[in-house]
Amino acid sequence: MTTVGRFLRQADASLALSRLQAEGIEGFLFDEISLSVVGAGMTAIPIRLEVADEDAERALRILRGEEGAGPLPDDFVPPEGAEGGEGNFPKVTAKELGSAFITGGVMTLITIGLPGLAAMVGGMIRPPTIGGVLLLFAIGGVGGVIMHVYREGQKEAAEAEERPDTHPEPPNKTDARR
């Protein structure tokens, strides 16, 4: 095995490995676990990208940008009907997400906070800290965002099923054999 790269960030190491794999070169990341031991972000122990000895020269050329897939030309136009980077995610606005976060946080505080308030008044528990209340709000807010995105995705899926042009008939296998 030959080391063709050393990286201080996990994302950079993974991207380099993906570029090599896209060109048919298998590689391995070593010392990758050091990132989780030291912490997120940069690490004191570089992550090593290693490939088979016979692939080393070509891998170095690919990583330097001398070979392999390069950037798209400036006049590139995607083919008709190609979806650019949006995937299958529902289309939601930042305003909708913010509203869902606030609603989820408030609903969680009400749902969990009211019984807690009653227990506190009854002397069964001590008053919560501000940090605890904020954490509860944040957890509820994230739950609210997840539910909103899920519901929007369900709506879009139902709308897509109602449109006949989104699901073309699959080709008949018997016709293809004739």
Give me the tens of pLDDT residue by residue for the chain, a chain 178 residues long. 899 998 888 888 888 998 898 888 999 888 877 655 555 555 567 889 999 999 999 999 888 887 776 666 778 777 765 555 555 667 888 889 899 999 999 998 888 877 877 777 777 777 778 888 888 889 999 999 999 988 888 888 888 777 765 445 555 545 444 4
**Is 108 found in the same domain as 54?**
no
CATH of the domain at 47: 3.30.70
Alpha-carbon gap, residue 51 to 58, rounded angstroms: 10
To which H or E segment does residue 48 belong? strand 47-51
Instruction: Please tell me whether residue 132 adopts helix, strand or coil conformation.
Output: helix
What is the value of pTM for the model shown?
A: 0.42
- Tell me if 1 sits within 8 A of 51, measured CB to CB: yes
Residue 177 lies in a domain: no
Domain that holds residue 45: 2-64
Q: How many domains does the chain have?
A: 2
Q: Where are the alpha helices (DSSP H) in the chain?
A: 10-22, 34-38, 56-64, 94-121, 130-162, 173-177
Alpha-carbon gap, residue 60 to 11, rounded angstroms: 18
Residue 86 lies in a domain: no
